[in-house]
Structure 1
């Protein structure tokens, strides 16, 4: 009996597999042989929103309905098609280029892929997001480049397209797509000479705003010489641990194979490192290299800074000051001013910090750049003040820091 059962399994499993394959091969065939033309939807209502509309309806009383399809032109040229299953009573149409009336043609489609007669519905979408955002976009000179700012309160997926000119010929020099509510970034790598630029906003449907043209002169920027940096230890600084002393923070080694800066566990937070730049400079930005994965998984964990601030002083011998866990940008405490508050970005992959990917670790190893506000004063000394680490521990560490700005 046992042998018979085994032979039955050997015979039945391939048969079942072949049957499944046959079903899979025919999945595109109509689910019904009923070729009756379905009725159109009824009780149609339209709810407009920015750049689109939701259309609600009542389906025909038929079990043979598969979906409702909408066809429409979003800009006079491009035709879009959206579908909504028979489980729903609403279909969304979006991507319209302007605030105006548009025709949307609705079809009811049966399980035999038979379409109903067309039903034309008028929609009147409000101003699309890309046109709402465009007037808020501004381009201003920045250190080594151009600073782009704006507001995207609806968090639409939009792109800011930046053009550069050589004579009368333009070329795209940067594209920045995001859903961020606040638009604030810089495009760098330009000398402090006049540059003609243009910029426009584009959505993911291919709609494009008008272009604004400007002539901008980027501000001078250079990498500060790390050979001039020096230890300037203050009583409220974090206690050094494991031989990871402050000079390792500017030794040019970033890959995690050597020492960095490390404070002792159990210390008070914020964990602070103070050092001199060797010059009086108006800072434009800095790059922070956190500790990457090595023999253990350190990236997005351990003592790597998550929430931190940068303080500065232009005094020749600044006095110690007890820094708070947080303070508004521009706050002055003794000889020190808050130059900015920062959050280290989460893993680019979208994974949880504890489950970050190899690509996330490469992002950490490459270093992350943070801008210093243009209104910040010149400074000779800086304090890295770490309020929170990725492990929420009582110590902090980092591999390297580099600073850019104008020390002239």
Structure 2
């Protein structure tokens, strides 16, 4: 086996050195006869996949078992399992049609046995079951969709609208492997239009499209020129070079060389702690976008140190100057989730892009109109007793 790895290494070096020269890898051994066939095959039909178990032929030259099948007409697939296993998993089925699978035992010299043919009938695949669960309705600036994905499959939910000629146009694509969830699509005016949703998996199986005629709710961005910093009795102190007003000045680049691109509470603010500010108008909020510090030029601070991971947003139309939460309504709790799932200190390109786009947070549609906002910090990625942010942008309807 060591010599085999060495040969593969040399082969790779030759390809790198000569580029256009083609080499063909030889089987581990040459000659020999076909191994015996698998036997006692058992079929376990599952949602969108099938697991076959079998008895392996007793043959010292056996290398692997190969299953050949079609996931849909004309789309052939192969799945391989080593001789150490007595099962093989067939994935990628987009419907529940009955079909045949051929199982081959393959030797070290790449000689295949005669096939054993079995019939399989996958259960309802995730593209179909997720489509059946989809429900969507109008929301601020677009729609909100809810779904169930009981098999935790890696799927994409596509959102379509229609152009002036009535032709479908893709508006968004939402990727998920969650068992259930919801997402929103924004950017539309408050005129009636068609919205369609479909489901796709990584094998390019597509569901049908479900269409609805909906009218998005009116939404506008709140004017940051109206925002005002506040300091109530129980609010955290601000770090000297990161005043609260930096949170809405539309400056997100400049890094440590600039003191105008981020806001920061003082060290020792405690957990939890909060800050307060005035929107300048009373509005029924629909959503807000948070751009974290470090998204553009201090990447070592992104998803680290004082970068918020878990926080609450509170709102009020009036407040008690003693700094208590009397008269305040908790609008919701929000969590910043890294796209990659990588640990603190390790960020993927997708993590960085999401931070630069801004983390989108939806305000529950039944939340009351508010004028004053409190950010209550519960946890940062670095478990700090202070927090920082670069920018907040709010959307909704002015009352």
Aligned to 1:330: none
Q: Deviations over 1:108-142 (max 9, x none)?
A: 11222222112111223221122111121122112
How big is the shift at 1:349? 4.5
Q: Which residue of 2 aligns with 1:258?
A: 259
Partner of 1:337: 329
User: Whole-Å Cα distance in 2 between the matches of residues 278 and 367 of structure 1?
Assistant: 23
Structure 1 pair 358–91 and aligned structure 2 pair: CA distance change class (3 A): closer
Are 2:10 and 1:21 equivalent residues in the alignment?
yes
| Matches of 2:9 and 2:311, distance apart in 1 | 57
Q: Is the 8 A contact 2:241 2:259 kept in 1?
A: no
The match for 2:310 is: 307
Contact 2:235 2:323 (8 Å CA) reproduced = no
Deviation at 1:19, TM superposition (A): 11
Q: Does 1:108 align with 2:97?
A: no
Q: Report the Cα distance in structure 1 between the residues aligned to 2:376 and 2:197, rounded to whole angstroms.
A: 37
Deviates more, 1:351-360 or 1:392-401: 351-360
- Could you say which residue in structure 2 is the equivalent of 1:80? 77
CA distance in 1, matches of 2:233, 2:136: 43
Structure 1-normalised TM-score?
A: 0.86
Structure 1 Cα separation of the partners of residues 313 and 276 of structure 2: 10
Q: Are positions 1:157 and 2:149 aligned together?
A: no
Q: 2:383 aligns with which of 375, 385, 392?
A: 392
Give the structure 2 partner of residue 329 of structure 1. Answer: none
Give how far 1:160 is off.
1.0
Q: Bigger shift: 394-403 or 381-390?
A: 394-403
Contact 1:305 1:397 in 2 (8 A): yes
1:100 CA drift (Å): 4.5
2: distance between equivalents of 1:377 and 1:155? 34
1:115-264 equivalences under 5 Å are 115-166=112-163, 167-255=165-253, 256=255, 257-259=258-260, 260-264=262-266
Match of 1:11 in 2: none
Distance 1:170 1:194 in 2: 15
Larger Rg: 1
Equivalent residues of 2:39, 2:55 under 8 A apart: yes
Size of the aligned set, in residue pairs, is 380
Q: CA deviation at 1:64?
A: 1.4
Q: What TM-score do you get using the length of structure 2 for normalisation?
A: 0.88
Find the counterpart in structure 2 of residue 372 from structure 1: 363
Q: Which runs of 5+ in 1 are unaligned?
A: 1-16, 323-332
Conserved? CA contact 1:254–1:365, under 8 Å: no
Given the superposition, is the C-alpha separation of residues 204 and 277 from structure 1 closer, same or farther in structure 2, using an over 3 Å criterion?
A: same
Question: For residues 23 and 271 of structure 1, do their structure 2 counterparts lie closer, same or farther at Cα, with a shift above 3 Å needed?
Answer: closer
Aligned-pair CA distance for 1:99: 3.0
Contact 2:242–2:259 under 8 Å retained in 1: no
Question: Conserved in 2, the CA contact under 8 Å of 1:321 and 1:336?
Answer: no
Over residues 82-124 of structure 1, what are the superposed CA-to-partner deviations in whole Å (9 max), with x where a residue is unaligned? 1112222111112223335322111111222222112111223
Aligned-residue Cα RMSD (Å) equals: 2.5
CA distance in 2 between partners of 1:131 and 1:278 (Å)? 48
